[in-house]
Structure 1
Amino acid sequence: MAVTLLAHEVSDLCLGKPALRALSVSASIADALSVLRNFEDNFISVWDCEHNKVHESGDAFLCQCVGKICMVDVICYLCKDENLLSPSDALKAPVSVLLPKIPGLVVHVEPSCSLLEAIDLMLEGAQNLVVPIKNRLSTRRKQLQKLSPTSPTSHNGREFCWLTQEDVIRFILSSIGLFSPIPALSIDTLGIISSDIIAVDYDSPASLALEAISRSLIDQTSVAVVDTDGILIGEISPLTLGCCDETVAAAITTLSSGDLMAYIDCGGPPEDLVRVVKDRLKDKGLEGMLEQFNVDSNLLSYLSASSSSDEESMTSTPKLARSGKHSRSMSYSARIVRRAEAIVCHAKSSLVAVMIQAIAHRVNYVWVIEEDCSLVGIVTFSDMLKVFRERLESMT
């Protein structure tokens, strides 16, 4: 039975996967922002096409995915000191400045790559495996498609999708019986609870959490928000931030970590926090940011009108326009609902229970807490893959 599982190729995990949407490495951050606003992709692949080189296969040019970006990358970039005064100028920079300087986060593989090889690549640090989709584009479609901020990735009639740790974990879960009795063991017994967590104090300025947010995005985890006693209050999740728009940069610049949690929670920011953001932007002399992101007009539409004239004004406030299938409601996306509440388990929780919990909430990790809610550590998909990789090796 193990031989059957190991015989699977990554192409088996790609069935039904959509083609990647591509962004040229020479595009601007404003171009990236437009794609992220107008399409339902959480991550956009970034491609470098060397038009002046001829590949050994005779291709006219060679295209390669060199990374991925999401709304969180844009938000963190805009929160940097040098970009706060003039966000509009910051958006003119090339999208390449958003790519982390860490090699191997995105790796090209062939459809024939084995499941075992894919797991090894992920354990070595690959977050996304770029896989050619076997179906070929029609001649007419090939003529129409060019690499642009809004077109799917296409190269010589081939489209690409990518695989993530979540895809592999889901696939393993479908054959979980093969790994018995490991799935029934507790995460404590398996020794996969990591104490290497990223945490910030509830009352600390959210701006001090920027480095933590960037690191958690790379690590595919999250930032725990704790009180002075180490009690887990919630989290600042890149997944939740990624469902917001760039106006959240204003909130990160002005609010505490605890208030930021409330601000990005689903349902829209509380009106008192919106007022705080507006006032503090003015106090800091960041009128450029306030104007660029329409904090006055867009975010204040959440506020309850104190008079009939105010109410009339707010009902006429224009919303951010989108042409995609799903419209964003101000800073929030209709694509996915994620709260700032942390997903937690206990040390005695079984491996399979934690797997299902993470998959159900579309996260790559689960926080581990004590009965009093004090934070113990974190369990990640990477930790789980190590366990299954060792088991697969012993089964061969």
Structure 2
Amino acid sequence: MSKHAILSASGAHRWMNCTPSARLELEFDDNSGEAAAEGTAAHALSEHKLRKALKMRSKKPVSPYDSDEMDNYTDGYVEFVLEVIEQAKKICSDPLILIEQRLDFSKYVPEGFGTGDCLIIADGTLHIIDFKYGQGVLVSAEDNPQMKLYALGALDLFDGIYDIEMVSMTIYQPRRENVSTSTVSKENLYQWAEEVLKPKAELAFNGDGNYCPGEWCQFCRAAVKCRARAEAKMKLATFEFALPPLLSDEEIADILSSIGDLTNWANEIIAYATDAAVNHGKKWPGFKVVEGRSNRKYKDEEAVAEAAKNAGYRDIYKQSLITITEMEKLMGKSKFNEILGELVMKPPGKPTLVPVSDKRPEMNTSSAKNDFMEV
């Protein structure tokens, strides 16, 4: 679409927590980068595959991001949607299935609209499935405002036609092995829309309210120059950074809870300043642009091999197996498990300190070090 919503569904988590950010973002170009372009390509491919699986006409998209990995992940998405459809058919012989459906939720959010990846309507239940190709941030469907906005848009279209009582919202995020589903009643969703969403959306659309930095700043276009965020990050400097044993456990925990976002913010500042200096001639006081370190590389591998052979050297190549993912794609999952299942292992991951909200089970730290060192 040529038009972009000021209050987008994908940005709802941000503008609902920091209402002035939506208007502030308009002052910055949308430099989404490679990850966003790759995600768009994956969405296009998944849409094509799903349409073909449902016997709809579709032309396969081509992009520079096409890969075996993307093929595998989009195949998995289609398999998942087909499974949901089969489950829906057990209670409804002819469920309504919509792909890439435009959804208008402007009844609650000024000029609000978005696109639902897949909608399935069976007796009493509206299913919304959102395909997320990103791997940087684990996305949960629980209390997810983007999914709720899509649900409101879908209800606006179909609530008067179908007897919908419940809404099931699913995030399918294959690169994080994450399938997250949240189910809410239609009444609870409407109550949230009236009591929480509408007041926040009105403030955000008008650019009102207070700046409120938090983890939702990550994808905000204004984040790198936002004064409120900078002040929040600099509050860490109020700690007297003596040796850690001199800090209380509570102070260390407080620092740990903020350090990830602080590191991201610092990296964003470096990236912004570097881009301005290298690409726009910006001169930063006390800094200069120099040539970074680089590694040697062959100019022409074929010419190198020929020259080495002519000089009498033969042991100049190395051979390695294709990756596990490539091998599984080559054989197919069942054959792969039959032939190589006993020869594949998944070693324990390196012990990592994370917030208690992380869904991974807690390790036994008394044996974690030994287990990791044995790998």
TM-score over 0.5 for the pair: no
Bigger Rg, structure 1 or 2: 2
TM-score range, shorter chain: under 0.3
TM-score normalised to structure 2 length: 0.23
Structure with the higher fraction of residues in strand conformation:
1
TM-score normalised to structure 1 length: 0.22
